Structure formats: C-alpha cells, structure tokens
C-alpha cells in the first residue's frame, strides 16, 4: 500500500494519482491476469466506478511507464522491455446530439492520435480511417496495437429518449467498431468499457472473440473497493465501530461475484468530506430519462427492494426494447443480491437496491421530480415525521392528504396515472424512504394489495393502501385486512407499540378519503437494533 494524503475524486489519470501522492488501491494484478488469459475484453460497470482509471492503468502499462508502478503488483510481474502503440478513444466528455456530431467527434479523436504519432491518413470513411491508423501504427513501431475504448455507449445512452437518434448513434458506433474486427492481425490487445451491456450483435457484430467480464466472478472486484481493500487502505481514517454504517451506506454493489464492492466516487468523497454521510454518487448525475421511464411505465417502486429475473435476462438489453429493470441494474440503481438455482438447474437473479445512499437518493429524487420543489417535499416530510414522533394521527392523516394534494395538476394531465392503484403506494413509499425512514414493503408481488411497514425506533406502523371509485365498493377495508391477515404477528415479540393504519384513496378525488387506525400493541418495550 502506498502512503498517501490526497483523495483522487473523479481523477481517471493513473499517472496523476501516483505522482500526486493520492490514495490508490492496487488493481494492477488484474492487468497481468488479463494479458495472460486473453486479448479482447469487454466490461460494463455503472458510471463513476473506476472504469476510466483502470483503462488508463492499462495504457500506462502497455506504454512501458515502469516508474509509475513502483511498489505495485505489476512492478515485478510485467515485461517492461516491450512497449506498444496505444489507441485510446473516450466518449466520456460532452454530449453528442446527432450522428453528425458523433462523426465530428470520432474524426477529432482519430486526428489527435494521428498528430501525436506524426501520421497522415488517406481514407475518408470512419472505419477506413480507423483501420488505416491501426495498420500504420503497427508499421511505424513494429509492434501490434493496443486499443482501449472508454464509455463506448455514451452517445447512445445520452439519446435513449429519442429512439431515432439513438439508432443513428448505434449505426455510427458500429461502423467505428467494425474496424477492430477486420484488423486482428495488427492488434495486441483490446479493452472496451461502458455503462450498458448492449447485445454484441447490435454493436460488435463479428467480434466473436470479445470476452465479456461484466458478470465474471474472477473479475468482480476489477473496479470498486472491496471491504478488505477499504479497511487496509483507509485504516487510519476509520474507527472500527463506524464500519457497519459505512458499509450500509456505500457498499453493496455486486456483479455475480462472491464479493461486493464500494463505489469509489462515493467513498472517496465520504472520507474527503470528513466522513459525512451524504448523497455523492447519485447527485453527480441527474437520471431524468430514467425517472421519466419509471413514471411512464407505471413502475411499482416497492419492487426495487426485491426483484427476481432469470439469468438469461442479463443479456437482453437493447434500444429496440429498453427494459427498465435491466437499465436500473446496469446504471447502478439495482445490484445482484442473490443467485437462486431452481430444480431444473436454471439460475434466477434477485436484484435489490445496493445501499442506503442509492435507496434514499433515488426515492427522494422521484418525489422532488414530481413536486418540482424541494422545499415542499421537506415541509411534507417534516410534518409526517413529527406526527410519528408525537403519535399524532390527526397530523399524520393531514400530512398524507397534503402529500397528494400538493402534486401539481398538470402532472396528472401529462400522466394518466391517478387510476393506477400502485401509484398511490409507489409515491407514498418513495416519500417515506426518501425521508430516511426504515421501510419494509411486504407482499410486493401482489399489486392490488399493498402493505408498507415503517420501523420507527422501537415502534411499528403498518400501512395498508387501497383505491376505490364511485362505481366500486370495498368488500373489506384496509384496516380490517391488516388484522384479518395478521400482518402484525411477526413483530409482536420484538417491538413495542404497533399501529395498524388503513388508507383508502379515491381515483376521482386523487387523494385519501378514508383514514382508520388502531393500536395493536400497547407496551413501551425498548428495542436495541
């Protein structure tokens, strides 16, 4: 471990990190492993997860910058006598809005490499220029070429909301990447990274030797910090008692591996900010398109806590059929929680929210997006929390009515969602979780019957939500259902006061029309969690 005193937040230059005496967790063992095992690789990871830094680490190794690796694993596990020409393309900077801008960007990237190596190209097409560049670098340096492509998919992801533009971007990128397939004889090594994992057919047609590391167990920690790495590198900054809370806030990302990892951006900000628990990663990029999709698709938000899909589902993402669950996973808002093998030997993947930072931030962002006013949501949240603190059920009822009454009218006009039963539960769920309360969503697979449980200190609040309209009468009220189904039974022995609260919403009124509650347990038992 290198002695360090700076936090390289957002720094993707390996050389800058090493020379500035910054914290660096040694991942160079993966560099040697990659080169030993193969030639062509692909890796998908969420944004700000260390992909660009790892790509630059590869670059410096292939360029033979031995002095940068002093004290690291690769120092004594690499042939520093051999140096290779490197083509490093990145689409991370800026936003490209159409195919013409993408073409200009690619030409600029290729031109910069040409200038750096004093080369002139004759071909005019994108694929032709790229192939010619590869061949001329091989001829000039008498070594095969290393190709590193960062954020390969960003021009597409930036335009997911516009299908036609996204298709154009795919076409332009496919033209560029096709040159790799046709230049195998001149290539030493290829490593491609991005956020999404589009099907190989859609972007890398013919590149059949591209090994996908995204869900490879052996490479689960190639980006991100394991718990062991965190404790070893930042041991002087951590008190042992703090570890469980740090882990619950910022660890939890898993990519089909035996080990979970921290998002480097969040944890570096956390330590640089004197160990302040804040939303760092989420706030670094506003997922407006994702929030729009959640609302348009009438996504049932409590499902984020526990979502089961077949393993084959992980390879099904493409712009022709954008699956929101897979998009949430690849973007870092969901992660692998468990792998379950059924009786036929087929694996199913259980997704969940990775940690508290993402859970709080995503739900708070959704609520703020709907209201368009952070001050409003803060006021509503404060009233709700104070009602719990004081066991003031009149105030609790009023705060819930205010929550739905405060939704702007034009929001309903743009989204025909008031008749969707899960909407009321989804918004209520996002509201509570976004405030930081411990919420358990029960029976989440039963969309027509919703239970939300809040654990507040040593008390339990069980909410049952139902919707009705002028043509419909409820056969059993939500409060009666809580008692009939025995939802409180699992908490009786472990908690103090338990409250059952039935909420009935009316589609025409778009709000709460009936509020009933009952205290099911009266003791003041104190619970230590």
Query: In this structure, are residues 334 and 308 in contact, taking their beta carbons and an 8 Å threshold?
Result: no
**What CA–CA distance (Å, rounded) separates 375 from 185?**
61
CB burial readout 264-299, b (16+ within 10 A) else e: bbbbbbbbeeeeeeebbbbeeeebebbbebbbeeeb
Least Cα distance to 153 among 172, 135, 126, 139 occurs for 172
Weakest mean pLDDT among 141-150, 291-300, 479-488:
291-300
DSSP code for 495: -
Q: Could you read off the pLDDT of 13-56 as tens digits, one per residue?
A: 999 999 999 999 999 999 999 999 999 999 999 999 999 999 99
Query: In this structure, are residues 165 and 107 in contact, taking their beta carbons and an 8 Å threshold?
Result: no
pLDDT band per the 50, 70, 90 thresholds, residue 150: very high
pLDDT band per the 50, 70, 90 thresholds, residue 199: low
Q: Which of 109-123, 153-167, 355-369 has the highest mean pLDDT?
A: 109-123
Weakest mean pLDDT among 90-99, 282-291, 460-469:
282-291
Q: What is the mean pLDDT of residues 252-273?
A: 95
Residue 414 confidence (pLDDT): 57
What is the chain's alpha carbon radius of gyration, rounded to the nearest angstrom? 26
Residue 282 confidence (pLDDT): 80
Residue 286 confidence (pLDDT): 63
**What CA–CA distance (Å, rounded) separates 246 from 236?**
15
Residue 474 confidence (pLDDT): 64
Residue 444 confidence (pLDDT): 41
Whether 305 shows a pLDDT value over 80: the answer reads no
Q: Which residue has the higher pLDDT, 311 or 483?
A: 483
Least Cα distance to 314 among 298, 335, 292 occurs for 335
Residue 344 confidence (pLDDT): 77
pTM confidence score: 0.88
Q: What is the mean pLDDT of residues 301-323?
A: 78
Least Cα distance to 152 among 295, 302, 43 occurs for 43
| Residue % of the chain over a pLDDT of 90 | 58
Weakest mean pLDDT among 2-6, 202-206, 371-375:
2-6
DSSP code for 334: S
Give me the DSSP letters along 108-173. Answer: HHHHHHHHHTT------SHHHHHHHHHHHHHHHHSSPEEEEEESTTHHHHTTTTSHHHHHHHHHHH
- Number of Cβ within 10 Å of residue 435's Cβ equals 20
Residue 176 confidence (pLDDT): 94
Average model confidence (pLDDT) for the chain? 88
Residue 2 confidence (pLDDT): 44
Q: Which residue has the higher pLDDT, 348 or 224?
A: 224
Q: What is the mean pLDDT of residues 287-299?
A: 76
| Residue % of the chain over a pLDDT of 70 | 91
**What CA–CA distance (Å, rounded) separates 89 from 110?**
8
Residue 454 confidence (pLDDT): 93
Query: In this structure, are residues 61 and 28 in contact, taking their beta carbons and an 8 Å threshold?
Result: yes
Place of tokens 């379950």: 340
Each domain of the chain, given as residue ranges in start order, spans 14-219, 238-363, 372-521
**What CA–CA distance (Å, rounded) separates 139 from 246?**
52
Q: Which of 207-211, 216-220, 361-365, 419-423 has the highest mean pLDDT?
A: 216-220
Whether 365 shows a pLDDT value over 90: the answer reads no
Fold held by 14-219:
Rossmann fold (3.40.50)
Residue 301 confidence (pLDDT): 84
Give me the DSSP letters along 161-184. Answer: TSHHHHHHHHHHHHHHHHHHHTTG
Q: What is the mean pLDDT of residues 381-401?
A: 94
Whether 174 shows a pLDDT value over 70: the answer reads yes
Look up residue 146 and give its two tokens.
């290393």
The gap from C-alpha 524 to its chain's centroid, in whole angstroms, comes to 40
Question: Secondary structure of the chain: what % helix, strand, coil (to 5)?
Answer: 45, 20, 35
């Amino acid at each position: 471990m290198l002695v360090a005193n700076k936090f390289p937040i957002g720094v993707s230059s390996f050389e800058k990190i090493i020379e500035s005496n910054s914290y660096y967790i040694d991942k160079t063992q993966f560099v040697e492993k990659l080169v030993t095992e193969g030639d062509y690789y692909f890796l998908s990871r969420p944004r700000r997860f260390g992909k660009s830094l790892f790509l630059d680490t590869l670059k410096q190794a292939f360029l033979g910058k031995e002095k940068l690796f002093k004290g690291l694993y690769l120092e004594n596990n690499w042939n520093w006598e051999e140096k290779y020409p490197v083509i490093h393309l990145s689409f991370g900077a800026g936003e490209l809005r159409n195919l013409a801008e993408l073409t200009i960007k690619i030409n600029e990237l290729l031109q910069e490499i040409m200038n750096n190596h004093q080369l002139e190209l004759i071909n005019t097409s994108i694929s032709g220029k790229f192939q010619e560049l590869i061949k001329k670098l091989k001829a000039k340096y008498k070594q095969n070429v290393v190709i590193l492509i960062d954020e390969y998919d960003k021009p597409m992801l930036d335009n997911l909301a516009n299908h036609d533009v996204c298709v154009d971007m795919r076409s332009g990128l496919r033209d560029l990447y096709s040159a790799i397939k046709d230049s195998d004889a001149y290539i030493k090594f290829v490593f491609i990274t991005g956020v999404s994992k589009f099907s190989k057919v859609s972007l890398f047609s013919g590149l059949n030797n591209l090994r996908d590391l995204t869900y490879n167990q052996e490479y689960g920690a190639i980006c991100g910090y394991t718990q062991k790495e965190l404790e070893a590198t930042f041991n002087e900054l951590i008190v042992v008692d703090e570890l469980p809370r740090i882990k619950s806030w910022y660890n939890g990302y898993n990519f089909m591996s035996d080990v979970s990892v921290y998002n480097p951006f969040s944890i570096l900000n956390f330590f640089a900010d004197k160990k302040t628990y804040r939303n760092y990663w989420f706030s670094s990029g506003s997922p407006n398109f994702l929030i729009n999709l959640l609302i348009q698709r009438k996504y049932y938000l409590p499902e984020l806590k526990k979502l089961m899909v077949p393993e084959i589902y992980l390879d099904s993402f493409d712009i022709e059929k954008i699956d929101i669950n897979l998009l949430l996973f690849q973007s870092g808002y969901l992660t692998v929680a468990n792998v379950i093998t059924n009786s036929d030997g087929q694996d199913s993947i259980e997704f969940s929210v990775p940690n508290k930072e993402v859970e709080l931030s995503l739900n708070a962002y959704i609520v703020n997006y709907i209201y368009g006013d952070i001050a409003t949501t803060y006021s509503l949240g404060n009233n709700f929390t104070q009602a719990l603190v004081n066991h003031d059920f009149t105030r609790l009822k009023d705060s819930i009515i205010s929550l739905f009454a405060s939704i702007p009218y034009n929001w309903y006009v743009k989204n025909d969602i008031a008749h969707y039963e899960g909407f009321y539960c989804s918004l209520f769920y996002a509201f509570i979780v976004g405030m930081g309360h411990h919420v358990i969503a029960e029976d989440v697979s039963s969309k027509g019957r919703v239970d939300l449980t809040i654990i507040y200190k040593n008390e339990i609040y069980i909410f049952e939500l139902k919707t009705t309209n002028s043509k419909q009468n409820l056969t059993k009220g939500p409060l009666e259902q809580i008692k009939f189904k025995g939802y409180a039974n699992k908490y009786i022995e472990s908690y103090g006061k338990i409250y059952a609260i039935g909420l009935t919403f009316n589609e025409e009124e778009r709000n709460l029309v009936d509020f009933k509650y009952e205290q099911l347990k009266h003791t003041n038992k104190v619970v230590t969690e």
